[in-house]
Structure 1
Amino acid sequence: MASSLDVHVRICGQEILKYDLEIKALIQDIRECSGPQSALMEFNSQVKEKFNQLRCRIQDLEQMSREQDSDTDRLTIQAETEGQRRQMLSNQTAWRKANLACKLAIDYMEKDELLHGGENLATRQRKATKESLVQTNSNITESLMSISRMMAQQVKQSEDSIGTLATSSRTVQETNDEFKTMTGTIHLGRKLILKYNRRELTDKLLIFLALALFLATVLYILKKRLFPFI
């Protein structure tokens, strides 16, 4: 049971790390977002969903700490839980700052477009720079997605390991039950053998007494026939 719980703690930690990386990537996307407002809203919607998933997994980790029998393991997992909470709060702060900076940048760009009525050289350069940043961000996102897929594969392997442990546990329990049944059968057989041995001894004793009585009767008859006057 302890091994199974350790596997669940490890899987939970891996999922927390995955959500943390995904949140950081989305915050970076918000920092680099050049508009429109709908794009920013879409990023924020994704961040909220990831925060909800992260919060649930941190709560699961806290629950697992309460289920530990060892004080050392319980304190270690509690410390990990608090560290993850602090990291989540740090990400929330970074998220708010990125939102503020992005909104200011979008407002500034909209005002600049209204004032100049079109693109000038500086605007084109800025657009080219942002396109380069978008490409870089796309590469980073792809790398994070690759890490996420690797972590999902590790989670799947861990789940398979849990299934193997559960099957082994059932096999051991069934073997133990068979041993108990065999022990009962052997004990019953031993009692029957002892009873049979006692009965055999009794039979031998009765046969011996009957034989002795028979011999005594024969001797008595012979004595009366051969020596009638004695």
Structure 2
Amino acid sequence: MQAKQDLLKGNPQVRKRNQANKETLAKTANDISESLVSLNRTMAEQVKQSENNITTLDHSSNTLKETQREFDSMGGHIQNSQRLLTKYGRRNLTDNVLILLALIFFFATALYIVKKRLWPS
């Protein structure tokens, strides 16, 4: 009731207090607005950084997929090479055995001819 009478009489302290409250509320509202603007700016930066990260991850994924395809291709080439080297090794062994048999046959034939010429029967 006292506050009502003070307001009606025009008490300067009440007006100062009301004005101080209004100034405090205005300052608080301004601080909150600045905080929101700062938060908005920070969120925009985070979104941009996330977009950059997604782009980088996409590029890395494509690089990894391409590398995987190349490794698969190399694996096929390595298996072909292994088969060819195994086949080459078998043929090399076969060729060595044939050369040895040919040399034995040649020397046996040469010994037979020399024997027939030196000791005719």
- Alpha-carbon distance in structure 1 between the residues aligned to 2:90 and 2:107: 26
User: 1:225 offset after TM fit, Å?
Assistant: 0.9
Asked if 1:221 is matched to 2:113, the reply is yes
Aligned to 1:158: 50
- Alpha-carbon distance in structure 2 between the residues aligned to 1:201 and 1:222: 31
Asked if 1:199 is matched to 2:103, the reply is no
Provide the aligned C-alpha RMSD in A: 2.3
User: What letter matches 1:185 in structure 2?
Assistant: H
CA deviations on 1:88-134 (whole Å, 9 max, x unpaired) are xxxxxxxxxxxxxxxxxxxxxxxxxxxxxxxxx8xxx6xx8597345
1:167 to 59, 73, 96: 59
Q: Which has the larger radius of gyration?
A: 2
- Alpha-carbon distance in structure 1 between the residues aligned to 2:92 and 2:31: 91
TM-score of the pair, normalised by structure 1: 0.40
Identity over aligned pairs, percent: 51
2:79 to 187, 197, 218: 187
- Alpha-carbon distance in structure 1 between the residues aligned to 2:97 and 2:31: 99
Aligned to 1:176: 68
Aligned to 1:93: none
Q: Secondary structure at the match of 2:120?
A: coil
- Alpha-carbon distance in structure 1 between the residues aligned to 2:89 and 2:28: 91
User: 1:167 offset after TM fit, Å?
Assistant: 2.1
Q: Secondary structure at the match of 1:228?
A: coil
TM-score of the pair, normalised by structure 2: 0.71
- Alpha-carbon distance in structure 1 between the residues aligned to 2:35 and 2:115: 119
User: What letter matches 1:171 in structure 2?
Assistant: T
* Structure 2 spans left out of the alignment, 5+ residues: 1-9
Aligned to 2:6: none
- Alpha-carbon distance in structure 2 between the residues aligned to 1:199 and 1:142: 84
- Alpha-carbon distance in structure 2 between the residues aligned to 1:175 and 1:228: 77
- Alpha-carbon distance in structure 2 between the residues aligned to 1:139 and 1:174: 52
Q: How does 1:45-194 map to 2 (within 5 A)?
A: 129=19, 132=23, 133-134=25-26, 136-194=28-86
User: What letter matches 1:141 in structure 2?
Assistant: S
- Alpha-carbon distance in structure 1 between the residues aligned to 2:114 and 2:49: 96
Aligned residues: 104
User: 1:138 offset after TM fit, Å?
Assistant: 3.3
